[in-house]
Amino acid sequence: MKKIVLIALLILLSLPFFKLAPFAFATPFSQAMIRYDRMKTTSPTSIQVIIVPQTVGTEAKIKIVFGAGVVVGSGVSVTSTNLYTGTSLPGTLTVTGAGGSLVVGGLTDLSVGTTYGFNISVGLSTPSSPGQILDTITSQTAGDAAIDSTVVASRFISDDQIVITGNVPPSFTFTLSGNTDAFTADLGSTAVVSTTGRTVSVTTNAAKGWIGWVKSANAALSSATTLESIGTTGVVDTTPSTCVNNSDCYVLDADKTTTGAGSGSLAIAAEYDGADASSGGTLSTSLTPFVTRTGKTAGDVITLIARASILSTKAAGSDYIDTLTVIGAGNF
């Protein structure tokens, strides 16, 4: 009887020591993601980590243990810019790492349910073989006790890039607004008369721009009926000529009407850059530049105006005529 009592007492006293101890392990984060910014094998990469804590604790560190093949090199750095989602980790962050793991320290506690993110911006390289690895993200206390921990799958492939190519072909459009241009009044000895004017419109993607040329069939306004001419005035000398009353004069004036958007500059050749309604450039039977653009343009417009005056004794006729050939070319 005494032995039984003693045994019973021993059992009763020892019961607390056989009580099952609570099993402690880290719970997973509510969400956890590692985005490798390169998935190509054997490539330097940065990563962005997104976590949502689930367990109340005093976080001081985030530890990442990478799966086989990811190498943590020297010079790893942590940033909080351009986060896909969430907010920066609180605290003054530091990062140390080597081999297959790294630790982000300097945290000042995290809040359950809040989304946090950070980047490891340099110092990592991807595995040498395609396939899946498992990385482990763990939040820790200052004493390295785990709080939340999640294993994530990361995938690496042979190539993660697509090269896009395209060709922009040369283009040059050149348009004359009309093929006839009459003087606005009868030619006389008491005034210089001008034509209405015709425009040259050019669009080009030539990186070095375009040039316009003009040549005259007669270098004069000639009449088949009277066999008389009104000759062009002056010489091609980069200086416009001025018509005066009661003298034969025939010149061409070029004006910038529109400078199209693009690059470079648009300039009328000095010869044809008349100063007023009486001046213009000497016409030649050879192609002579009247305008230059030094870059591409979405639409230059040049107006060409002929000007003339006559001697009082010029033979009367209605067929005084000249033909101007106007051309252009892009400089690619």
Partner 1 sequence: MIKNRLFKLFLFSFLVFPASSSYKLEGFSFGNAGGGNISSSSYEMSANAGEINGQNISGNSYDLGAGLAFVQQANVPTITIDNPNNYYNKLHFIIGVQNNPSDTKYAIAISSDNFVTTQYIKSDNTVGSTLTITDYQTYSQWGGASGGLVVGLNSGTIYKAKAKAMQGKFTETAFGPISSVATVDPQLTFDIDTSQNDVETNPPYAINFGDLMPGSIGTGDSKVWVDLDTNASNGANVFVYSQNGGLYSPTTTYKINSISGNLDVATTGFGLQNSSVGQSSGGITVNSPYDGTVDIIGAVDTSIRSILSSTAPLTSGRASFSFKAKSATDTPASSDYTDTLTMVAAANF
Shorter beta-carbon distance to partner 1: residue 123 or 209: 209
The SS3 call for residue 12 is helix
- DSSP, res 100: T
The amino acid that residue 177 corresponds to is S
Shorter beta-carbon distance to partner 1: residue 66 or 250: 66
Query: What is the smallest separation between the CB atom of 11 and partner 1, expressed in angstroms?
Result: 7
Shorter beta-carbon distance to partner 1: residue 24 or 224: 24
Q: How far is CA 213 from CA 118, 135, 160, 222, 272, in A?
A: 63, 71, 53, 22, 11
Q: Which residues bind partner 1 (CB under 8 A)?
A: 1, 4-5, 8, 11, 20-25, 27-29, 31-39, 48, 50, 54, 82, 84, 132, 134, 150-155, 157-171, 173, 203-207, 260-263, 296-299, 332
DSSP string of 121-134? EEEEE--SS-EEEE
Query: What is the smallest separation between the CB atom of 168 and partner 1, expressed in angstroms?
Result: 5
* CA 200 – CA 179 distance, rounded (Å): 11
Shorter beta-carbon distance to partner 1: residue 77 or 173: 173
Query: What is the smallest separation between the CB atom of 119 and partner 1, expressed in angstroms?
Result: 10
Shorter beta-carbon distance to partner 1: residue 28 or 99: 28
Query: What is the smallest separation between the CB atom of 6 and partner 1, expressed in angstroms?
Result: 12
Query: What is the smallest separation between the CB atom of 328 and partner 1, expressed in angstroms?
Result: 15
Q: Are the C-beta atoms of 247 and 274 separated by less than 8 Å?
A: no
* CA 139 – CA 96 distance, rounded (Å): 15
CA dihedral 256, 260, 265, 271 (to 10 degrees): -20
Shorter beta-carbon distance to partner 1: residue 77 or 155: 155
Pair of tokens at residue 54: 């689930």
* CA 81 – CA 58 distance, rounded (Å): 24
Shorter beta-carbon distance to partner 1: residue 82 or 323: 82
Query: What is the smallest separation between the CB atom of 139 and partner 1, expressed in angstroms?
Result: 15
* CA 78 – CA 40 distance, rounded (Å): 22
Query: What is the smallest separation between the CB atom of 172 and partner 1, expressed in angstroms?
Result: 9
> What backbone torsions phi and psi does residue 233 show, to the nearest 5 degrees?
-105, 140
Shorter beta-carbon distance to partner 1: residue 188 or 260: 260
Q: Are strands 249-258 and 172-176 parallel, antiparallel or unpaired?
A: unpaired
Identify the CA nearest to 302 among candidates 331, 327, 278.
327
CA dihedral 101, 105, 108, 111 (to 10 degrees): -10
Query: What is the smallest separation between the CB atom of 102 and partner 1, expressed in angstroms?
Result: 18
Identify the CA nearest to 278 among candidates 311, 314, 241, 316.
241
Query: What is the smallest separation between the CB atom of 65 and partner 1, expressed in angstroms?
Result: 14
Shorter beta-carbon distance to partner 1: residue 33 or 251: 33
